[in-house]
Structure 1
Amino acid sequence: MSQLTAHSTEKAHSYEQLLKQLTALCEDETDRLANLSNASALLNQSLGDINWIGFYLWKDSELVLGPFQGLPACIRIPYGKGVCGTAIQEGKTQRVDDVMAFPGHIACDSASKSEIVMPLYTGQDIYGVLDIDSPINSRFDETDQLYLEKFAKEIERLIQK
C-alpha cells in the first residue's frame, strides 16, 4: 500500500483501504492485544512521516504503555497529563500541530513535533488511546483526523468482541 501522503481525495481512498485491511486482519481474532499489535503495525506500515504509533491502555486510573511501533516510550501517563492524558480527560481527539506549544507536553521522543491522539472506549468505559507522533510540525490535517477517528471506532468495535 502506498504511503498516505497524497492529496485529500487520494488520502481518503487510501484510508478507506486501510480500514478494510484492519477489519480483514482482525475480524476473526478475539485477543485484544493481538489486534492492537497488528493495528499499530498496519498504521506504521501505511502512514508516512510518523515516528511513533501505538496504544496506551487505561489501568488503575492512568494510561499504561500497550502495543506500539517506534522507539521505547513513556510507560505511564497520568490522567489529564500530556496530549494522551488530555484526550482521556476531555473525551475527544487531540490534534496538536506543535507539541512544544502544548501545555504539559510529555516528551518521550524529542524528535516528535506533532501528534494526534484518539480516546478509545468499551461502551462508556475508558479503554485507552491511539497515539501517533510525527517528526514534522502540522503533520495531521482534517482528513487524517476524520479517518483516524474511524480507525479508532473500528478498533473499539473489534475489542468489544
Structure 2
Amino acid sequence: MSFTATTLEGTKAEQYEQLTQQARALVDGESDRIANAANISALVNHALSDVNWVGFYLFDGTELVVGPFQGQPACVRIALGRGVCGTAATTRETQRVPDVHAFPGHIACDGATRSELVVPLYDGDTLVGVFDLDSPIPDRFDADDQAGLEAIAQVFVRSLSV
C-alpha cells in the first residue's frame, strides 16, 4: 500500500472533504476494523489541531471497549448510556459537547479534556461503536467539524463491508 497524506487546503469544509478522501484511500480494499480504526485515528489526529485524543470505542455486544486511538491512555470500558460516548451510542446522535464539565455523567479519562465530539457508528441497525475526539480547548468543535467527522466515520463503517 502506498499512501501519502497531503496538506489540507481551502475552507474547513473543503479540508474535511480532502481528509475524507484520504481516509477512503487508507481503507480502500481493507475490511479489518482494527487496522482501519488505527489508520483513521492516526490520520485525523495528525490533520487536526487542538485535539488531545482521537479514537474508537468498539461495541463488544455488551459495552464500548477502547479500540485504536491516538492520545493519552484511556478508559477501557464504557457502559451504554454512560458519559458522552455511551450517550452517543444509545441515542444514535452525534454528541458535540462544548464543555465536558457541564455534561451530566461525563467520564473524565483525561483531565485536560474540555470539549468532545462523539459520532455513533452504526451499520444499519447494528451498533459498531463510536468515533471519539477530545480537545483541551473549550468549544473546539463546530458544525463543520461535526459534518466532516461524521463523513469520516461513515468511511470507517463502510469499510467493514468490503
3-state SS of paired residue (1:17): helix
Residue 145 of structure 1 aligns with which residue? Answer: 146
3-state SS of paired residue (2:59): strand
Residue 79 of structure 2 aligns with which residue? Answer: 78
Residue 47 of structure 2 aligns with which residue? Answer: 46
Task: Determine what percentage of the aligned residue pairs are the same residue.
Answer: 55
Structure 1 residues 90-101: aligned runs within 5 Å: 90-101=91-102
Shift of 1:3: 6.8
Distance between the aligned counterparts of 1:3 and 1:18, measured in 2?
Answer: 7
Distance between the aligned counterparts of 1:64 and 1:50, measured in 2?
Answer: 21
Q: Which moved more, 1:112-121 or 1:29-38?
A: 29-38
Total equivalences in the alignment: 157
Q: Which moved more, 1:141-150 or 1:95-104?
A: 141-150
**Contact 2:8 2:19 (C-alpha < 8 Å) held by counterparts:** no
Distance between the aligned counterparts of 1:102 and 1:2, measured in 2?
Answer: 34
The CA RMSD measured in Å over matched residues stands at 1.3
Q: Which runs of 5+ in 2 are unaligned?
A: 1-5
Residue 21 of structure 1 aligns with which residue? Answer: 22
Distance between the aligned counterparts of 2:7 and 2:140, measured in 1?
Answer: 17
After superposition, what is the alpha-carbon deviation per residue over 1:29-71, rounded to whole angstroms, capped at 9, x for unaligned? 1222111100000000101100000000001311000000000
3-state SS of paired residue (2:131): strand
After superposition, what is the alpha-carbon deviation per residue over 1:103-160, rounded to whole angstroms, capped at 9, x for unaligned? 0000000000000000001221000000000000000001001111111111111112
3-state SS of paired residue (1:121): strand
3-state SS of paired residue (1:131): strand
Does residue 1:62 correspond to 2:63, yes or no? yes
**Contact 2:23 2:40 (C-alpha < 8 Å) held by counterparts:** yes
Residue 135 of structure 2 aligns with which residue? Answer: 134
Distance between the aligned counterparts of 2:56 and 2:118, measured in 1?
Answer: 9
Residue 113 of structure 1 aligns with which residue? Answer: 114
Q: Which runs of 5+ in 1 are unaligned?
A: none
**Contact 2:24 2:155 (C-alpha < 8 Å) held by counterparts:** yes
Distance between the aligned counterparts of 2:133 and 2:61, measured in 1?
Answer: 23
3-state SS of paired residue (1:119): strand
